[in-house]
Amino acid sequence: MRVRSWNVNGLRAAMKKGLPEWLSRTRPDIVGLQEVRAQPDQIADELAALERFVVHLSCAERKGYSGTALLSTRAPDEVRTALGVRELDVEGRVQIARFGRLVVVNTYVPNGNGKERDNSRVPFKLAFQQRLFDELAPLVRAGERVLVMGDVNTAPQAIDLARPKENAKTSGFLPEERDEVARWLAAGWVDTFRAFEPGPGHYSWWSQRGGARERNVGWRLDLALASPALMPFVRSAVIEYQVRGSDHAPVGVELDDAVLG
C-alpha cells in the first residue's frame, strides 16, 4: 500500500507542473496534499481531472491560502477536518481519515515566521501541533495504527538541514520547534524516514533562489510519523527528490496491505 504526502505549493500550479503525471506514474493509494491554496469552485476542472481518486478538501477561509486535500483510491470511512479550536481550524490545516484500521492524518503545520519574518507565529504553530498531539493521543493509547504525514515546517535535528548553524534563529529550526517534534518522538511516534535512513544530505524542501535545489542546500521539513502500532506494517520510507513541480518533494511510506484489516 503506497501512501504519499506532498506540499504542492498551489494545486492549480501543480496540475500544470506534473502532478497528474506523477500520480499516474507513482500510482499511490492515498495522497495528502498541502498548501492547496484554492476554494472548491476555483479548482473544479482540476478536481475533475483527478477522476481516479476520491477527493476530500479542507480549505482555508482566507482565499488563496493554506488548505489540504486528501486523495484516495478507496473512499475513507470517515474524514474529520477540525481540532475543535476555531482559530486553529479556519486555515484548513488538518484532515484525519480512517481507512479500516488505518488512520491517516494529512497536516500542514503553520510556518512560524510571521509576516515580518520575526518568528511571531511560532506560538500559533506550537499551539496547533500540541492540539493535534492531544487529539491523537487517545488513538495511540488505544493501539491504533496512525500515520501523520505532511509539511511540519520543522527540521527535527541538525542533520535535517544543510546549514544548521546559520539557521539557529530561523523558524523551522528554533529550539522550541525542535522540542515539539522531539516530544512526539518521545511519546512513541516514529520518524519513518529516519527508521530506514540515518545518514545526512536528505532534504524535502529547497529555496527557489540561488540554485539551492541543484546544490542540495535544503531542509527536511516533510515527515511521515508512525504510531507504535503502525510501525510493524511500515515496509519502507522515501523522499522523492527527483520529482519537481514544487519547492517541496513528495515523501511517503510503503505499508503492508494487512494494515487495513
pLDDT tens sequence across 115-144: 888 999 999 999 999 999 999 999 999 999
Confidence category of residue 167, pLDDT binned at 50, 70, 90? very high
Confidence category of residue 102, pLDDT binned at 50, 70, 90? very high
The mean per-residue pLDDT over the stretch 41-55 comes to 92
Q: Burial letters for 209-236: b for 16+ Cβ neighbours within 10 Å, e otherwise?
A: eeebbeeeebbbbbbbbbbebbeebbee
Residue 7 pLDDT exceeds 90: yes
d(CA 182, CA 1): 28
What's the one-letter identity of residue 2? R
Whole-number average pLDDT of the chain: 97
May I ask the CATH architecture of the domain 2-255?
4-Layer Sandwich (3.60)
256 among known catalytic residues: no
pLDDT score recorded for residue 47: 87
Instruction: Evaluate whether 195 touches 201 at the Cβ level (below 8 Å).
Output: no
**From 89, 151, 160, 222, the catalytic residue:** 151
pLDDT score recorded for residue 116: 87
pLDDT score recorded for residue 168: 97
pLDDT score recorded for residue 150: 98
